[in-house]
Chain A
């Protein structure tokens, strides 16, 4: 062992012989108390309104089991072998049909299959971001994307949303400011439909405006759309990608419309970008799982997947109603939006409450949520929390909100006694875990 890597100095030890060897970006990694508190969220006593886990119990598991068996018996030689770096061709063709539902006309050659859209996020960031480059993103923004951006040492600048999604004038003024500061803005990361965690959807009217502003500033758009087909009330809005072929990289996923366990997502990109994505993907994983891809492919071929999505929508609508109804009844002092699809409600706490300090109380009361600070790059968001209604049944959701109401009351009482307000946590950093997805 070389001197620089030695674990002892004096006679002490830091219990890690590799301490001197880590990359700079690993130094800021912290074991947060929040992760510890989430350890109980998996216990059945706890109503978890924290994770974005889809309701897998709603799938026809017998049927999927039979399908998987047939897949291995009939096509095992392919399914269990390495495959193409870009992804299975038949599946890519099917993916173009899925995207057609949101107005996207793409060719199978434009599609790169990835290990969840999370890997696509990583690939896009890998090929575009040098340390210090700027990514513009909604405020708040998906915690898993922020984790990827942080790992690549990007700088993230948040732009506010309102009930109609990202605000065009705010985007414009942010880009103008960054340009004046000579910052290198590489892309806008946006979740236009049923935002995670914001719950809002970018209005039809704003879609071309956002594209136009980005085109004017020479900023690529990264459209992340795992929830687009999970709208409760109307047909999906046309994707940003359907309005611009050259200016948008589109990310899709089967995680929320089918099952995240297969880890299959995809990217659609302008052809030059697509080439680089494939090379980057091969360098990191060789190829996406053939078994998973063929499973999804045969599911799309043989199951009534439209019917399944419809039934998911109905289940999720019931759960949304249960959550929103329970909030109205039990926590009227908070405010929230009513999402028209997807999994999440973004709640603003009554003044003075801090969702992160309140979390231990919630865990004691056997209810879990994600503190708002997880969804900002810079520690803002202490006065918000995210509630997910995708996993628990409506009854459990109501029970969870009753518990949360008790937690909010107790925390209000403490805050009132001590006259404190929400903390400014600028500079503190959250590391996402799969519990938060």
Chain B
């Protein structure tokens, strides 16, 4: 089987994507697959057209890789690829849209409001922020409506800190998602498969000194991971059910990572959906695979085989 991994791209997460691409390539090294890694640039379409590629694995994080554009291109070229189809990717990538879809299906996500920068300009930022603080109380989490690797995300505990958090967020995009901060245990549940065949891998728990930000994610030390997560049996069932439900409701394909916080009542609140989860040395998906006692290369091989066999 000939596999082309797509990694790099022009998003803010280029760096992470390149590392993910290399790790997946490494894991597949001893298998009977031929794996190349390609950036998304002018040379991509000619390389794909040359033929010989059985399946493409887009490992791009951030816009264009996760927002469905790249998937649309692959569909246009009639290529088989790993992961969610373009139209579903677009929904999963836009946090407020995904949250609404999940909400309708009865999956819990933290209360939120989506506000574009233009609204603050038109009606006055202070008044909007006052209303936010009054309705949600503090702390709240401010994040770009589309984004990843915690870029542009702030946990805001005081009213004074709200304006700067908004400025920080709008540097990454025009629309902000303001969400009630959930206290509890943060876990990431990786899901493999599609539809009724999807299964959840053991939840990985994240315990972080300070914010779980870019540094915490990619520079080992501040985060302690527990794989499997230290949950009661009931909580474990609940997080797995929530992850699988999210994966199905959003029509995610092949693999995903669903991030959530198990709140003080033991209810998993979904905070983020990743259709191209990070695959670096410090990423959660590979940790979950190991915790399940599976071999990375074998699992990646199965994911590729499924995608290659798809009509």
Chain A contacts to B: CB under 8 angstroms:
9-16, 19, 29-33, 35-37, 39-40, 43, 45-46, 357-361, 363-364, 366, 411, 413-415, 417-420, 423
Contacts and interface: CB of A to CB of B under 8 A. Distances in A.
A39 to B, nearest CB: 4
Given A357-B168, A419-B126, 18 more contacts: A10-B224, A13-B226, A19-B220, A31-B218, A31-B219, A33-B213, A40-B10, A358-B171, A360-B12, A360-B172, A366-B10, A415-B167, A417-B120, A418-B125, A418-B163, A418-B164, A420-B164, A423-B164
Interface string B1-22: 0000000001111111010000
A144 to B, nearest CB: 21
Contacts of B152: 360
Interface of B: 10-16, 18, 41, 117, 120-121, 125-126, 149, 151-152, 163-164, 166-168, 170-172, 205, 207, 213-215, 218-221, 223-227, 230, 281-282
21 contacts: A11-B226, A14-B224, A15-B220, A19-B220, A30-B215, A30-B219, A31-B215, A32-B214, A36-B16, A39-B14, A39-B15, A40-B11, A40-B14, A363-B12, A413-B121, A414-B117, A417-B117, A417-B120, A417-B121, A419-B126, A419-B163
Given A11-B230, A418-B125, A357 B163 contact: no
Contact of A360 (B16, B126, B171, B227): B171
Contacts of A36: 12-16, 149, 151, 214
B285 to A, nearest CB: 14
A361 to B, nearest CB: 5
B227 to A, nearest CB: 8
Nearest to A361: B171
B21 to A, nearest CB: 13
Contacts of B120: 417-418
B225 A420 contact: no
Nearest to B283: A15
B226 A418 contact: no
Contacts of B12: 36-37, 40, 360, 363-364
A16 B202 CA distance: 21
Contacts of A357: 167-168, 171
Contacts of A423: 164
A406 to B, nearest CB: 13
B167 A12 contact: no
- 6 tightest Cβ-Cβ pairs between the two chains A and B: A39-B15, A31-B219, A418-B163, A16-B220, A39-B14, A12-B224
B144 to A, nearest CB: 9
Contacts of B207: 12
Contact of A420 (B16, B117, B167, B219): B167
A352 to B, nearest CB: 10
A420 B170 CA distance: 13
B289 to A, nearest CB: 14
A32 B215 contact: yes
